[in-house]
Structure 1
């Protein structure tokens, strides 16, 4: 019997990072001293601080490139309306772009002209295959 529990969507992306032993030891020391709860907490904080230190540059770049910041959800209804008008959608996101699970590869191919994501794209494997030449 199939499960009726909704699938939880991840709100973050896992990355792999290689660090030298000395840097790793310094991080562990700061964790041990109570400055951070764990290595991941330190790394997330360090990344946020770096992004904040370049905040003006990021803001100007987003404005210059007319990109959405944060979550961009593309629904079936939005794509159907575009198809009915004969228009194409060009998705450009810094953050997460998510294409609804009920969007068919045919509808996506007919209405999505390009996808540029700096972050993560959540879409079914079938959609990814159908749009492979439009994902940058």
Structure 2
């Protein structure tokens, strides 16, 4: 599975310049490559992000999560989320699962990885607990 250059470019912009809050990636089966499907503006919320994940299709996503530590320090973590809902097609789940590690290696700077099959597994509470 090829990775479109745009994926790496946009990820670098998120990581270095914080141009985006999140990026949703989609595998284009016909072209056999991962492409950028949606970019989230820095002002968009976590709810906007979860709303952009399709209910019955797999996706990869990157989310830049800002939080404050117990010591009152402002921090941020870059999450990689492998979204694979139970209702998605088996073939799709297999393609996403088998391409995940290679795709993740292309995105240098991911700090936390999450595998999610339903919205509760990408709840804000889960993100907060994994961030620390």
> TM-score band (shorter)?
under 0.3
More strand by share: 2
More helix by share: 1
TM-score (norm 1): 0.24
Higher RCO structure (Cα 8 Å, ≥6 apart): 2
TM-score (norm 2): 0.24
